[in-house]
Amino acid sequence: MSLPLVMFLAFVVATLGITYWAAGRSSGESAYFAAGRRITGWQNGLAISGDYMSAASFLGIAGLIAFYGYDGFMYSVGFLVAYLTVLLLVAEPLRNTGKYTMADVLAYRLRARPVRAWASISTLTVSTFYMIAQMVGAGALVSLLLSDSGIGYAEAVTGVGILMIVYVVFGGMLATTWVQIVKAVLLMSGTFLLSTLVLAHFRFDLGALFDAAASVSFQSNGATVTQNFMEPGLYFKPPYGALDLISLGMALIFGTAGLPHILIRFYTVPDGKTARVSVFWAMLLIGAFYIMTTFLGFGAATIVGADTITANGGTNMSAPLLAQALAGDVFFAFISAVAFATILAVVAGLTISASTSFAHDFYSNVLHHGKERKPGEEVRVARWTAFVVGALSILIAIGLGPNANVAFLVGLAFAVAASANLPVIVFSLYWRRFTTRGAVWGLAAGLVSSVGLILVSPSFMGIDGPEVAEGARRMIQASTWYPLKNPGIVSIPLGFLAAYLGSIFSDEPSADAKYVELSVRANTGLGAEKAT
């Protein structure tokens, strides 16, 4: 048995232990959906970090920086600054007025059924897109990291899928939270160790690291190219690079505060103040992590080199290969296990957010008007949904195959969250005139426009040359209609506009009348759901 596999199994055993422990404490609605609302501020800060920092961040951004230098770091910036939107506008009022899902906040003043139905569709869309991207990535990556152990793509996807189903079905939010906390600790320590080793390699002289990054050489089309990785423009290129950057930035800054799997984390703490404190903790951790992506990326570019990384699995392998170059096989195995933990914590968060929204919003409130026919029905439906969501994800990821071009799905998830979810959350909390029609229009327009634009964007549509592998070809082989890879710059304003127009073109005295109650609840925490 290879060393990475041993470390993977150690993590699996530890998390199954957590799940066993949590399973005994997860009976009852608020225990299952919200971990009894007894997670503390720093614990939730860690869990938010664990929920948020995906393998796309850990391996993907490190790889982008290793191959394109500065432009990759632009992602890092957006991922942290986005939390200011969460902190200033969303976290506390959401905790104070909601129960289990983001739709709770909307349904407070508005007519519950249409609003919850649309919010649930949007939540499931965001979570599914994000999940498919994670699962395909997980399969490719785990099979690569465990290639010595003979584990292929399909086995890796199935393994990851089964684990996340077990965490969520049996351990609910409590197990998910602690898996995320363990992962965050592992990720932060792994990244810190790796960064320290990179700096030690340059004798703790930052200038020397930057000097090395300023002249990075690699092979391109048979010739040796030397580039300055401290300068922008190697990844985002004209004519649309600048607009694409702005569009991506908009999706990150406004989308994070609309990601359902992040929002439900705020229901796991006792009160609004703790929700706020947990965002602050999360910002410290997430910021520290994303600053360190520079060391990982530049380290991989200068110490390992793009040629070696390309020959050993491509961009995503930058960080693990860096670990191997700096400290050998044991450290490679550890960093691989960190990547594995990272994937599992994120997919577990996505599974529970999808199943909570389906059970609480769609099943209970849309289909059964908010009345449980039998006690415990909502939790039972959520457990089954988690199972179905997990099983479907496994099948879709296996069907797509390891070469499928799915990286754009993460960007799309942020774009839908920013265009559909954020406008209606912000309006329902802060705009008295907001109505049900505004919410439905906003959710629908944001969702349809971001997905529609992606379908006609270069991520999905375009003419591939004969050199592109069968599984990696784009779905529509025709010239692109929308030139950017990121729909946010168009779809976010559209989402806000539709929510605004829908409200202006309708009149809902009951929504207006309930604004006073919502405002007082949101700002004071009066009548908020208590810890159990």
* Binding interface with another protein (CB under 8 A): 70, 73-74, 76-78, 80-81, 83-85, 87-89, 92, 207, 210-211, 213-214, 228, 230-233, 236, 241-243, 245-246, 248-249, 253, 273, 276-277, 279-280, 283-284, 287, 290-291, 516-517, 519-521, 523-526
Distance, CA of 264 to CA of 279 (rounded, Å): 13
Task: Report d(CA 186, CA 410) in Å as an integer.
Answer: 23
User: CB of 230: closest distance to another protein in angstroms?
Assistant: 5
- Smallest gap from Cβ 280 to another protein, in A, equals 6
Q: 287 Cβ partners below 8 Å, 6+ apart?
A: 80
> Dihedral through CA 235, CA 239, CA 242, CA 247, nearest 10?
-100
Which tokens hold the place of 18?
A: 């957590």
Nearer to another protein, 31 or 74 (CB): 74
CB 156 within 8 A of CB 142: yes
Q: Could you tell me the smallest distance in angstroms from the CB atom of residue 111 to another protein?
A: 20
CB of 322 to another protein, least distance (A): 20
DSSP assignment, residue 527? T
Dihedral sign, Cα of residue 408, residue 486, residue 103, residue 349: positive
How would DSSP label each residue in 192-227?
Answer: HHHHHHHHHHTTT-HHHHHHHHHSEEEEETTEEEEE
Backbone angles phi, psi at 476, to 5 degrees: -110, 115
Preceding amide of 458 cis, omega within 30: no
Omega of the bond leading into 239 within 30 degrees of 0 (cis): yes
Shortest CB 474 distance to another protein, Å? 25
Residue 419 to residue 410: CA distance in whole angstroms: 14
283/344 with CB nearer another protein: 283
Q: Which is nearer to another protein, 243 or 392 (CB)?
A: 243
Q: Contact, 228 vs 215, CB < 8 A?
A: yes
Q: Is 4 exposed, middle or buried (0-12, 13-18, 19+ CB in 10 A)?
A: buried
Question: Would you say 87 or 348 has its CB closer to another protein?
Answer: 87
Smallest separation (angstroms) from another protein to the CB of 229:
9
Helix-, strand-, coil-residue percentages of the chain, each rounded to 5: 75, 0, 20
Give the nearest distance from C-beta 185 to another protein in angstroms.
21
Q: Which is nearer to another protein, 287 or 452 (CB)?
A: 287
SS3 225: strand
Residue 278 vs 365, nearer CB to another protein: 278
Shortest Cβ 192–another protein spacing (Å): 16
Cα diameter, the chain: 70
- Nearest approach, Cβ of 70 to another protein (angstroms)? 6
Q: Which two tokens stand for residue 414?
A: 């942020």
